[in-house]
Amino acid sequence: MAERSHFTEAEYYQECFDSRAYMNNFYSRPEGHSDEKDYLTFVLGCLSKIFSTGKYKGRKLIEVGSGPTIHTVISACEHFDELLLSDFVDSNREEIKKWINNEEGCFDWKPIIEYVCELDGKSSSDVEVKLRQRMKQVLKCNVLLENPFHPESIEPADCVITALCLEAACKDMQSYTDALCGVTKLLRPGGVLVMVGVLGESFYCVDEIRFSCLNLSKENIEDVVSKLGFTVQEFNISPAEEQENKVSDYDAFFVLVALKSTKTI
C-alpha cells in the first residue's frame, strides 16, 4: 500500500515530464533506447502488419494518450481520413502541434517515418505530407474521466489506439478497468481497438525522473477487454531480454488488437 500513495499521477506529469527528453531518449532512431532493446522496432513492425492488410480502415482514428509522439499512427494514416491525437500534458500536445505545423526546432520524426515506410512499401515524403494533413485535432484528454475528452463530446471513431498510457495513468486494476471502459466508448460498434503496452512493469525513467506504472499481466488485460465486449484478434508479445536496464523494469511489451461488439452490453 505504501507504493500506491507514491504513484505518479497526472499533475506530476504536468510538472515533471520532459517531453523533448522522452523523445530524444526513446524515439530518435528506429532502434529506440538501448536499454529497451527491440521495443520500438517490435511495435512499429506490429502496427505495419496490422494496418497493411487494409482490414482496418474508416473515416476517423483517435489516439488516446499520444504523449509527444506520432509513431503509432504512421502505418494507420493511409487508411483513415482524420487522425485525432491527444494527451493530458500540455507540453506533449505542443510538441505534436509543432511537428504538424513544421515549426523550426520541431522534433525530427524522419528516421522513424522512413523506417515505417520501408516496412509499408510507401514513399516517406508522401506519408509525411499525409500525416500532417490528416492530423485534424490535438486535444487534451484525461483517461481517468468517464469521458476522456470532457467537456467535449467526440463522435465515436472507427479505430482507437492507446499506447503506454493506461498503465502509466492508473494506479490499480479498478481505475484501469474504468479508464479502458471510457476509452472504448470512443469507438463505434464493430470498431477496432489497438493497444500498445507493457507487462510486469512498475516504473520507467525519463533521464533521472522516475514514473510509476501499473504492473499488468496478459490475463489482466484479456479479462478486462473481454468483459467490455471485445473479441481479441491478436495479442503479440515481445519478452524482455536478459540485460541491464536502468530505464524500466518491464517483463514484456505487447500489441493487442480487439474488435468491439456490434451489440450493446
Q: Please list the rounded mean pLDDT of every run of 10 residues in the chain (265 residues).
A: 63 96 94 79 97 95 98 96 98 98 96 95 92 96 96 96 97 97 96 97 94 97 96 95 81 97 72
Residue type, 249: D
User: Which CATH number is 31's domain given?
Assistant: 3.40.50.150
pLDDT of residue 243: 66
Among residues 194, 232, 231, 198, the alpha carbon closest in space to that of 76 is found at 194
60 assigned to some structural domain: yes
187 assigned to some structural domain: yes
Give this prediction's pTM: 0.94
In the chain, the number of structural domains is 1
92 is in an annotated binding site: yes
Local structure of residue 79 (DSSP, 8 states): G
What's the domain range around 199? Answer: 2-260
CA separation for the pair 202, 212 (Å, rounded)? 6
pLDDT of residue 201: 95
Query: What's the grid cell of residue 100?
Result: 504538424
233 assigned to some structural domain: yes
22 is in an annotated binding site: yes
Q: Cα dist. 88→12, 25, 46, 64, 168 in Å?
A: 11, 20, 26, 9, 12
Query: What's the grid cell of residue 11?
Result: 499533475
129 assigned to some structural domain: yes
pLDDT of residue 1: 26
pLDDT of residue 246: 84
Burial class of residue 67, CB neighbours in 10 A (0-12, 13-18, 19+): buried
pLDDT of residue 5: 47
76 assigned to some structural domain: yes
Give me the helix-helix angle, 39-52 and 110-120, nearest 10°: 50
179 assigned to some structural domain: yes
265 assigned to some structural domain: no
66 is in an annotated binding site: yes
CA separation for the pair 118, 140 (Å, rounded)? 32
94 assigned to some structural domain: yes
Query: What's the grid cell of residue 183?
Result: 476509452
Is residue 195 within 8 A of residue 230, CB to CB? The reply is: no
Break the chain down into helix, strand, coil percent, rounded to 5: 35, 25, 35
